[in-house]
């Protein structure tokens, strides 16, 4: 039972353009959402988060949007850089401390 879904296994974007990574969830109890970035042979690195009381959070080149009615969130990276190439995981939590992760999206930024 996948409660957090990242339906695009991979995404390829030209350097300087916008990268949009999408995530859907099914559990209405989730109230906190996070994005992590992961390089091969390393642990996930926290990028940005958003609480369910907000619909947008911005940090530099990274912006996360939350649409609660659609149970959908997205991560925008602009402008995209080659160093952004990695696997991006969406994660959610609700009322507890454990994170529920999506399967990840591989982002490739071409120079």
Kindly list the residues in this chain that would bind another protein in the complex (CB under 8 A): 4, 6, 34, 36, 41-46, 49, 89, 91, 96-104
Question: What is d(CA 11, CA 8) in angstroms, rounded to the nearest whole number?
Answer: 7
Pick 45 or 81: Cβ nearer another protein: 45
Pick 54 or 110: Cβ nearer another protein: 54
Burial letters 39-69, b for 16+ CB under 10 A, else e: eeeeebeebbbbeeeeeeeeeeebbbbbeee
- CB-based contact 15:82 (threshold 8 Å): yes
Rounded least distance, CB 68 to another protein, Å: 21
Rounded least distance, CB 22 to another protein, Å: 15
**Max CA pair span of the chain:** 42
Pick 15 or 108: Cβ nearer another protein: 108
Rounded least distance, CB 106 to another protein, Å: 11
């Amino acid at each position: 039972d996948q409660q957090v879904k990242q339906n695009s296994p991979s995404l390829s974007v030209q350097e300087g353009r916008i990268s949009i990574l999408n995530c859907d969830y099914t559990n209405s109890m989730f109230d906190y959402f996070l994005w992590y970035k992961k390089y091969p042979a390393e642990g996930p690195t926290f990028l940005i988060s958003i609480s369910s009381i907000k619909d947008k959070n911005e940090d530099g080149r990274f912006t996360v949007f939350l649409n609660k009615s659609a149970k959908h969130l997205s991560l925008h990276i602009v402008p995209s850089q080659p160093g952004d190439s990695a696997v991006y995981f969406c994660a959610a939590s609700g009322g507890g401390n454990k994170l529920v992760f999506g399967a990840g999206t591989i982002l490739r930024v071409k120079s």
